[in-house]
Amino acid sequence: MAYRSELESRMAKKTTRAIIDYQMVEDGDRVMVGLSGGKDSWALLQILDVLRQRAPVRFSLVAVNVDSGYKEYKHDLIARTCEARGWEYRIEHTGIGELIEDILDADQTPCSLCARLRRGVLYRVAKEVGATKIALGHHADDFIETLLLNLFFAGALKAMPPKLVSDDGAHVVIRPLVYVGEEEARMYARESELPIIGCCCPACGDLGLQRQRAKRLLMELEHEHPGVKQSMLKALGNVAPRHLLDTRLNPPAELRARAVVAADGQRKQEDRGKHPDRPEGRSLLIPLLPISTDRSEDRSVPATLNSVPVGDGL
């Protein structure tokens, strides 16, 4: 079966590469797609359905929409679209919108709290529909924007993991659009004639939000230096832990001990070069730290940044 367009072919290749790179989908999986009605989740559902019909492994799809309870929200249009395309779906009606209004102060933004509440609903529904994976529509721009937000406002060097196991180990969250740009997702949803539905939250589209500021900054940078976003995405998979300030990755005591060993080795090498006939003697350098024989005191250090627990990353 041929792809319908060059764009669909490109979307399929990028999504397939992400699935393979991070082992997102396995034979027999039941993948639950979080369907908000926005361009990204529609694009994800559509391309996964295309891949499902071509993939060498068998997996099924079920779309789950979490209705936050806003009166203007067009959940009926989501239902009709899924039915027309033969997609299994479920709409979960909630009072998240009203709950957020009661909890938050007037000057606070609801996005992060809303995302956590919706995630809790998705986790619950995933068990009810028998899903083995939960697929979310975060694309490459979301990863980069999250990196900037954490750098600028949270003092943390992290973005989002493309594959995540929940804290209780009960759920696996995947983000198959990690290599797909936002504009590609937008064009693909439009090309596929999928209805773009806003979440109807009063804060939606607020240009004062930090994420919107990060988005504008990236747009300006990409305009001035084409390819900068791709470089930033590549950087997330090209981490140099020794060049960071996190002492969990580079404990000062261990670095100091390594420096002693390196200096000792260098000195021996130089000494052998000057006096090749002299037998190798003992080093005069002594360890700067006591060596414990108690294995319970051993503190292993992660070899890479990927080994450091980062939580849900959301």
Q: What percentage of the chain has pLDDT greater than the value 90?
A: 59
Question: d(Cα 244, Cα 131) in Å, to the nearest integer?
Answer: 38
pLDDT level of residue 148 (50, 70, 90 thresholds): very high
Weakest-pLDDT range from 7-16, 62-71, 182-191, 263-272: 263-272
pLDDT level of residue 208 (50, 70, 90 thresholds): low
Q: What is the pLDDT of residue 291?
A: 36
Weakest-pLDDT range from 92-101, 160-169, 234-243, 253-262: 253-262
Give residue-wise pLDDT tens across range 124-144: 999 999 999 999 999 999 999
Q: What is the pLDDT of residue 129?
A: 96
- In angstroms, the Cα distances linking 179 to 12, 27, 185, 205 are 11, 22, 11, 24
pLDDT level of residue 109 (50, 70, 90 thresholds): low
135 in Cβ contact with 176 (< 8 Å): yes
55, pLDDT greater than 90: yes
Q: What is the pLDDT of residue 202?
A: 60
pLDDT level of residue 314 (50, 70, 90 thresholds): very low
Averaged pLDDT score across all residues of the chain: 83
Q: What is the pLDDT of residue 2?
A: 86
Give residue-wise pLDDT tens across range 267-292: 777 667 666 665 554 443 334 334 34
* Residue 255 parent element (H or E): helix 252-274
Q: What is the pLDDT of residue 167?
A: 87
Question: d(Cα 247, Cα 241) in Å, to the nearest integer?
Answer: 10
Weakest-pLDDT range from 12-21, 68-77, 106-115: 106-115
3-state secondary structure of 20: helix
Backbone φ and ψ of 134, nearest 5°: -115, 115
Question: d(Cα 281, Cα 303) in Å, to the nearest integer?
Answer: 33
3-state secondary structure of 123: helix
7 in Cβ contact with 184 (< 8 Å): yes
Amino acid at 281: G
Q: Work out whether the CA dihedral 195, 49, 92, 212 comes out positive or negative.
A: negative
pLDDT level of residue 106 (50, 70, 90 thresholds): low
pTM: 0.78
7, pLDDT greater than 90: yes
Residues with Cβ < 8 Å from 49, sequence gap 6 or more?
61, 85, 87
Q: What is the pLDDT of residue 34?
A: 96
